[in-house]
Amino acid sequence: MLFIIGNVIREARKRQKLTQSALANVSGIGRSTLSQIENGVVTDIGIRKIIRVLDYLGLELTTRPQGAPPTLEELRQEGKH
């Protein structure tokens, strides 16, 4: 799951032409922490930090029942890759 979130954050950051340093700075986290998030290898991160990054990028974190089929938006995103 963190790998997926990290990929979404990286793609949004690049679309908005932000460097890791710039996004980390405005989100109040370290650049190395942001890099770990984007690469899905962060070992310990609070949800509030993730939400601050997502908020700045204009994204939100959502949940759905486990095993539920993908949403139309998720299918559209997969088609873009």
pLDDT in tens, 17-49: 999 999 999 999 999 999 999 999 998 888 999
The answer to whether residue 7 scores a pLDDT higher than 90 is: yes
- pTM for this one? 0.81
Residues 27-63 as b or e (16 or more Cβ within 10 Å = b): bebeeebbbbbbeeebeeeeeebbebbbebbeeeeee
Give me the pLDDT at residue 33, please: 95
**How far is residue 59's CA from residue 44's CA, in Å, rounded to a whole number?**
21
Enumerate the domain spans of the chain: 2-79
38 neighbors 6 (Cβ within 8 angstroms): yes
The residue with tokens 């993730």 is: 50
Query: What is the assigned CATH class of domain 2-79?
Result: mainly alpha
